[in-house]
Amino acid sequence: IIIKDFAFASTLYSEKNNSSQKTDRIRWALGLKKEGETIYTTKSGTYLSNKDNLIILPKGSSYKWESTVPGHFSAIEFECDLENDDILSLPLKNSEKIHRLFNEIEYKHITKTPMYKIEIIKSCYSIILEAIKGKKYLPNEKQLKIMPALEYIAKNFDKPIKNEELAKTTGL
């Protein structure tokens, strides 16, 4: 995932049995229930979001969601070129750390400190890395080719990065 731009962060409250349908989602989102539980249903499956399960909602995805247990839900929306149709629900081993990162992102979004978007994008990567830590993952051939560029971005997020530098790190 290469995050191109941060859009917004917010926390909302959903009552029990509150539900809605989303068609052709306009941006990617990371979602996490602070308390309560929401079920997402697509053609390919059912996905759980609660305080111990991070949900990743891809751009272009269509789904129905239902709040089965009331509670606050935090969402971080961003732009990304990655294409994927399926929602991901990732069980969290360190949910306190993820909740803290969500809170920091929302605070940075509200206060809009200098370089807040860069700091938020870095925190989004931290959330994703923490969520997949310890999971068995086999990248495809294209992902293997860009892995060095992702590592370079993570190490140099606070500096101007040129496409030529990323191409050089990947050999493309």
* DSSP string of 94-129, one letter each residue: -HHHHHHHHHHHHHHHHH--TTHHHHHHHHHHHHHH
Bridge-partner residues for 70, per DSSP? none
pLDDT of residue 148: 84
pLDDT of residue 165: 86
Distance of alpha carbon 129 from alpha carbon 12, whole angstroms: 25
Distance of alpha carbon 6 from alpha carbon 16, whole angstroms: 30
pTM (2 d.p.):
0.75
Per the structure block, which two tokens stand in for 3? 């995050």
Distance of alpha carbon 33 from alpha carbon 102, whole angstroms: 10
Q: Which of 167, 130, 124, 128 is nearest to 149 (CA)?
A: 167
pLDDT of residue 55: 94
**Which tens digits make up the pLDDT trace of 127-151?**
998 888 766 555 566 667 777 888 8
How would you class 31 by CB atoms within 10 Å of its CB: exposed for 0-12, middle for 13-18, buried for 19 or more? buried
- Report helix, strand or coil for 74: strand
- Report helix, strand or coil for 45: strand
- Below-50 pLDDT ranges, the chain: none
